[in-house]
Amino acid sequence: MKNVDEKIFFEAKVRQKADEFNNHPTKKPVKLMEHLVKLLSWEKQTILDPFMRSGSTGVACVLQDRNFIGYELEKDFYKIAERRLTEIEKQTKN
């Protein structure tokens, strides 16, 4: 198995092609955000991202069993984040 740093380096590229509903130009790799979430918190703790944009930190929190609170000023990005979080919550519950 690759060590964590090697895996993140491999996956941590800015996306060239967005999801159909997410046109964020510099969306962070969720794997990178998961790594940071694990470094900085324990399971079940709550993480606040007051500038969440399309919600990558929130997705990482769901995947790593953290609670998440996010703020976003722009309605379109808020809706993208909401949709991503709803989808990832559905996936992790199944």
Report the interface residues with ligand SAM, using CB under 6 A: 28, 49-53, 56-57, 71-74, 77
Write down the residue that tokens 């895996």 correspond to: 7
Q: Whole-number minimum distance, CB 42 to ligand SAM, in Å? A: 20
Quick one: 56 or 64, whose CB is closer to ligand SAM? 56
Distance CA 85, CA 76 (A): 14
Quick one: 1 or 50, whose CB is closer to ligand SAM? 50
Quick one: 74 or 94, whose CB is closer to ligand SAM? 74
Distance CA 52, CA 81 (A): 8
Q: Whole-number minimum distance, CB 94 to ligand SAM, in Å? A: 26
Which residue's CB atom is positioned nearest to ligand SAM? 51
70 Cβ partners below 8 Å, 6+ apart? 48, 49, 50, 52, 55, 57, 58, 81
